[in-house]
């Protein structure tokens, strides 16, 4: 049986110095891959330039070495989170994007160790906090890098970022609370991995299909059941992020003060990221102003005070000259 391959951006290979702990391949034509770097060898910058001149954007690693590649990425993110050495933010965005793909793949694979997956996910949240450094521009930078991707994991990471933006604007400073909100936001749609993916690309769902999608909060709880690292706060976010102050949300039709405040934060970030990004079921991309206005017009759906605080974060008022 021929090996399977997955893409790695050429910029990612170029940006790292020293030996890479996996073989690297180039795709010559459909189904034909040739090894260009042996494990533990260093890349040739001139060769990378030649590839770029030929409009080659990806190199490849075999599926068999995916775990090695994943551990390599994990160590890089961990190094960044510790603040060890000089780390280029653009490089880290690429690392985080690829690391997220592996993280969500692990969550989708029911045979994997959830405890380790939670540890990986926690690293993504820590990296988000590190990259933001109380700087909205960094969050926007990451957002732009991820916003064109339709995959669930990219949406989830953006929701995590903007949940952290709102949490900080609301005055939440505890690292423990910020980690809980960020991780809950990152995993808020985890239940989608247990639902037929074709439903998310349909424009007109039947009532039965819509009910199936609305089961994803409960499915998320089942996935993380008995998993270390998933606190009661995170579980509350998973189950309540579609509740609405007006009582029209799901699954339990909670109202106002009955809804866990961090779940209200994630609900706002979730809706905003959906409006300003392309999706499988809606090609329209709204501006920040349009998204905020639609959310304001949907009276009772979001906590109004939180929404206005969020608006000041993502669309600050222009200074009067």
> The domain that contains 237 carries what CATH number?
1.10.3210.10
Q: How far apart are CA 285 and CA 156, in angstroms?
A: 17
Q: 284 and 141 in one domain?
A: yes
Per the structure, the complete domain to which residue 54 belongs is given by 1-65
CA 198, chain centre distance (Å) = 20
Residue 78's pLDDT is 66
Say if 188 falls within a structural domain: yes
Say if 18 falls within a structural domain: yes
Residue 110's pLDDT is 47
Query: Which stretches of the chain score pLDDT less than 70?
Result: 1-3, 15-16, 74, 77-153, 228, 279-283, 316-321
Q: How far apart are CA 213 and CA 199, in angstroms?
A: 8
Say if 243 falls within a structural domain: yes
Last residue of a domain, one of 41, 65, 89: 65
CB environment 130-152: b (16+ within 10 A), e (fewer): bbbeeeeebbbebbebbbebeeb
Residue 149's pLDDT is 46
Say if 152 falls within a structural domain: yes
Q: 151 and 27 in one domain?
A: no
pTM of structure: 0.67
Number of domains present in the structure of the chain:
2
Say if 80 falls within a structural domain: no
DSSP 35: E
Residue 153's pLDDT is 66
Neighbours of 52 (CB within 10 A): 13
Residue 99's pLDDT is 64
Say if 181 falls within a structural domain: yes
Nearest by Cα to 234 from 258, 263, 268:
263
Q: 54 and 177 in one domain?
A: no
Residue 18's pLDDT is 80
Say if 308 falls within a structural domain: yes
Going across the sheet that includes 58-62, the strands are 5-9, 58-62, 24-29, 32-37
Nearest by Cα to 39 from 22, 64, 58:
22
Residue 98's pLDDT is 64
Residue 148's pLDDT is 46
Q: At what angle do helices 66-82 and 114-132 cross, to 10 degrees?
A: 40
């Amino acid at each position: 049986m021929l090996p399977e391959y997955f893409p790695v951006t050429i910029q990612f290979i170029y940006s790292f110095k020293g030996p890479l702990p996996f073989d690297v391949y180039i795709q010559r034509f459909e189904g034909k891959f040739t090894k260009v770097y042996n494990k533990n060898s260093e890349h040739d910058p001139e060769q990378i330039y030649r590839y770029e001149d030929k409009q080659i954007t990806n190199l490849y690693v075999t599926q068999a070495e995916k775990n090695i590649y994943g551990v390599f990425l994990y160590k890089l993110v961990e190094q960044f989170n510790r603040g060890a050495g000089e780390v280029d933010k653009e490089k880290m965005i690429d690392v985080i994007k690829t690391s997220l793909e592996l993280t969500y793949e692990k969550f989708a694979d029911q045979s994997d160790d959830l405890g380790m997956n939670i540890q990986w996910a926690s690293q993504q949240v820590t990296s988000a906090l590190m990259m933001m450094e109380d700087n909205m521009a960094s969050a926007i930078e990451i957002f732009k890098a991820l916003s064109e991707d339709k995959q669930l994991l990219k949406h989830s990471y953006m929701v995590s970022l903007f949940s952290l933006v709102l949490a900080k604007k609301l005055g939440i400073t505890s690292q423990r609370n910020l980690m809980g909100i960020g991780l809950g936001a990152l995993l808020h749609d985890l239940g989608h991995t247990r639902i037929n993916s074709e439903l998310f690309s349909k424009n007109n769902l039947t009532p039965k299909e819509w009910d199936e999608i609305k089961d994803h909060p409960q499915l998320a709880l089942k996935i993380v059941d008995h998993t270390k690292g998933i606190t009661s706060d995170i579980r509350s976010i998973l189950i309540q992020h579609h509740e609405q102050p007006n009582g029209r949300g799901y699954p339990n039709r909670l109202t106002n003060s009955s809804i866990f405040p961090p779940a209200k934060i994630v609900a706002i970030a979730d809706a905003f990221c959906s409006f300003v990004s392309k999706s499988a079921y809606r090609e329209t991309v709204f501006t920040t102003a349009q998204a905020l206005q639609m959310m304001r017009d949907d009276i009772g759906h979001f906590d109004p005070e939180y929404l206005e605080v969020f608006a000041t974060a993502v669309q600050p008022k222009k200074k009067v000259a």
